[in-house]
Structure 1
Amino acid sequence: MFVLVNLKAYPADPVSVAEAAATVDGTAGVDVAVAPQAADIARVAQTGAETWAQHVSPVSHGSHTGSTLAESVAANGAVGTLINHSERRLTLADIDDSIAAADRAGLETVVCANTPEQIAAVAALGPDAVAVEPPELIGTGTPVSQADPEIVEDAVTAAEAVDPAVDVYCGAGISTGEDLVAAEELGADGVLLASGVAKADDPQTALEDLVGQY
């Protein structure tokens, strides 16, 4: 089971969270990675935690002020990137170009989408994984696996019909080991979570509880 902790722009200490993730990684068969702000990627990677970017721009080297260059996040230690998170939406063409940019830089890719229909569309672009995230559940503490289990099952079916090699994750409201079990039972290969760890008073305890209940 894969767990990607998205720190978003929360006032979390990215190094502390990364150190906790590195400690918990591999426990109970759960692989834990962290997606910090782009400016924090290098120091997060230095902790030994698996480090992901929150976004890469659909561009290559050139005149693209303000863009997040895939080659740059890779050079600073990221091994993968989220694309098209609900809080950083892209057009389908830009998703395709961001995947291409990530591929050039050797980054793994997880493309987020809201519905099984969107999951099918982005799975056709050839990412390593897709993640279904109903935006109305993000940050609510109500896991998608409980609020709308059918959307996870339908997302798994949709991705498999397009490309069985594409993994399927689920996000929105994930915070406990029970949520991990539920996601796995619905066919997901991993989860995305954020506030349950990033906003925790003790991120390591939160991660240990997460894995300990799995």
Structure 2
Amino acid sequence: MFVLVNLKAYDCDPVAIAEAAAEVADASGERIAVAPQAARLSAVADAGVETWAQHVSPVEHGSHTGSTLAEAAADAGAVGTLLNHSERRITLANADDGLGAADRAGLDTVLCANNPAQAAAAAALGPDAVAVEPPELIGGDESVASADPAVVEESVEAVADVDDSVEVFCGAGVSTGADVAAAADLGATGVLLASGVAKADEPESVLRDLVSEI
């Protein structure tokens, strides 16, 4: 299972979380990545943890003020990027172009979706993985794997029907090792979470728990 921690714009110490994630990953042998704000990509990468961008823009080099260039994210240490998160929705065309930009920069990709139908459409664009995250459960206390397991199972099936090389991750409300285990039981190969780690008093303890039942 892949544990991808999105720090969003939470008031947290991204380097401290990155160091904790690197330590837990080394100790457990599990794959853990951290996605900080773009301005902190280099600092997080320097902590030795796998580092992801929260978003890259569907642009090439040129006059694109305010954009996050995929090559710049890669140069800062990112090895992958999220696209189309519920808090950063983009059009289908921009998702396709964003995937192209990420591929151009050598970044792995997770394309987010709300439900099985969107997951199938996302898979058709050829990302490395699709993360299914019902928006109403994001930031909540109940994981999608327990609140709505059918949406995970149906997304796994929908994606496999389109392209069985695309992995499916489970997001929204994931915060414990039991949530991760439940996601794995439903066919997911990774989890995407945020507040469970970013807002925790002891992020390292949460990270250890997250990988404890894998």
TM superposition score normalised by structure 2? 0.98
What is the distance in 2 between the residues matched to 1:156 and 1:86? Answer: 19
Shift of 1:141: 1.6
2:183 equivalent to 1:183:
yes
- Structure 2 partner of 1:47: 47
* 8 Å contact kept, 1:176–1:213: no
Q: Which amino acid aligns with 1:178?
A: A
- Structure 1 partner of 2:150: 150
After superposition, give the CA deviation of every residue in 1:64-95 in whole Å (9 maximum; x if it has no partner). 00001000000010000000000000000000
- Structure 1 partner of 2:202: 202
Q: Which runs of 5+ in 1 are unaligned?
A: none
Shift of 1:57: 0.5
What is the distance in 2 between the residues matched to 1:77 and 1:28? Answer: 23
- Structure 1 partner of 2:25: 25
Q: Which amino acid aligns with 1:157?
A: E
What is the distance in 2 between the residues matched to 1:212 and 1:170? Answer: 17
Q: Which amino acid aligns with 2:17?
A: V
Task: Report the 3-state secondary structure (helix = DSSP H, G, I; strand = E; otherwise coil) of the residue aligned with 1:142.
Answer: coil
After superposition, give the CA deviation of every residue in 1:124-167 in whole Å (9 maximum; x if it has no partner). 01100000000000001210001100000000001100100000
What is the distance in 1 between the residues matched to 2:29 and 2:51? Answer: 18
What is the distance in 2 between the residues matched to 1:135 and 1:26? Answer: 32
2:69 equivalent to 1:85:
no
* 8 Å contact kept, 1:27–1:211: no
Task: Report the 3-state secondary structure (helix = DSSP H, G, I; strand = E; otherwise coil) of the residue aligned with 1:94.
Answer: helix
After superposition, give the CA deviation of every residue in 1:95-137 in whole Å (9 maximum; x if it has no partner). 0000000000000000000010001111001100000000000
After superposition, give the CA deviation of every residue in 1:167-188 in whole Å (9 maximum; x if it has no partner). 0001000000001110000000
- Structure 1 partner of 2:10: 10
* 8 Å contact kept, 1:26–1:32: no
Task: Report the 3-state secondary structure (helix = DSSP H, G, I; strand = E; otherwise coil) of the residue aligned with 1:158.
Answer: helix
Shift of 1:211: 1.8
Q: Could you say if the C-alpha distance between residues 27 and 182 of structure 1 is closer, same or farther in structure 2, counting changes exceeding 3 Å?
A: farther
What is the distance in 1 between the residues matched to 2:43 and 2:67? Answer: 20
Shift of 1:206: 1.3
Report which stretch shifted further, 23-32 or 76-85.
23-32
Q: Could you say if the C-alpha distance between residues 29 and 46 of structure 1 is closer, same or farther in structure 2, counting changes exceeding 3 Å?
A: closer
Q: Which amino acid aligns with 1:72?
A: A
Task: Report the 3-state secondary structure (helix = DSSP H, G, I; strand = E; otherwise coil) of the residue aligned with 2:175.
Answer: coil
Shift of 1:208: 1.2
Shift of 1:30: 2.5
What is the distance in 2 between the residues matched to 1:60 and 1:89? Answer: 20
What is the distance in 1 between the residues matched to 2:121 and 2:82? Answer: 16
Q: Which runs of 5+ in 2 are unaligned?
A: none
* Percent identical: 67
CA RMSD, aligned part only? 0.9
Q: Which amino acid aligns with 1:68?
A: T
